[in-house]
Amino acid sequence: MPPTPGRRFKTAIYEQFARVSKALASAHRVELVELLAQGPRTVDALARMADMTLANTSAHLQVLRGAGLVESTREGLFVTYRLPDPSVADLLLAVRKVAEARLAEVAKVTRAFLAANSQLEPVDEAALRARVRRGEVTLLDVRPPEEFASGHIPGALSVPLPALVKELARLPRRREVVAYCRGPYCVLAIEAVKQLRARGFKAVRLEEGVLDWAARGLRVERTGA
């Protein structure tokens, strides 16, 4: 018995929905979406940041573009990718939230990494967030400067991780330092806290990144175009 028009419609529409989930069925592609949620990037930059070859990066980006999750523009020899609208970043946050709630491995892997980096002490994120908003701490954005320009937490200083040691003279030693990067699974802030503590600073990590901050309805500042 041939399928009814209603069944054909449902199959066709669910196949389109599945294109989105299939595009995210790769750890590399999820990471590329997270990187692009911080701001536009060239293929070369994405390859370096994700520790992939140019060929693999391009192939993954083509899959994401085929599902409408990224878009690109070309200027001369360079192709720049970006997210087409905030809904893609919202999707990334939703996937992360479900994984955190349903997969015990997320917490297990995270605890092991934090323990290895001596950062398992409990942090009251709500209280820390309130102190950040009140300007009671020195807030460091340790992402690359172009990401800071695309969007950052108000009051933050842009101190990219590779420049941190050189910038220590700017930081008041009697004030607690809070470092943040791209979110709870970004390692830049973890490394920054290690370096700050080794040099005598009282330092903690804000788990939330700009995406999380904006998702709470909190203001994000931009200095880029």
CB 43 within 8 A of CB 61: yes
Q: Containing H/E element for 63?
A: helix 54-66
CB 192 within 8 A of CB 156: no
Which among 187, 188, 168 has a CA at the least distance from the CA of 177?
168
Neighbours of 223 (CB within 10 A): 11
CB 72 within 8 A of CB 41: no
Print burial letters for 73-96: b (CB count within 10 Å at least 16), e (below 16): eeeeeeebbbbeeeebbebbbeeb
How far apart are alpha carbons 59 and 46 in whole angstroms? 12
**Angle between helices 27-36 and 54-66 in degrees, nearest 10:** 80
Q: Which residues pair with 73 in a beta bridge?
A: 80
| Cα–Cα distance list, 204 to 20, 121, 194, 201, 207 (Å) | 36, 9, 9, 10, 9
Residues with active-site annotation: 181
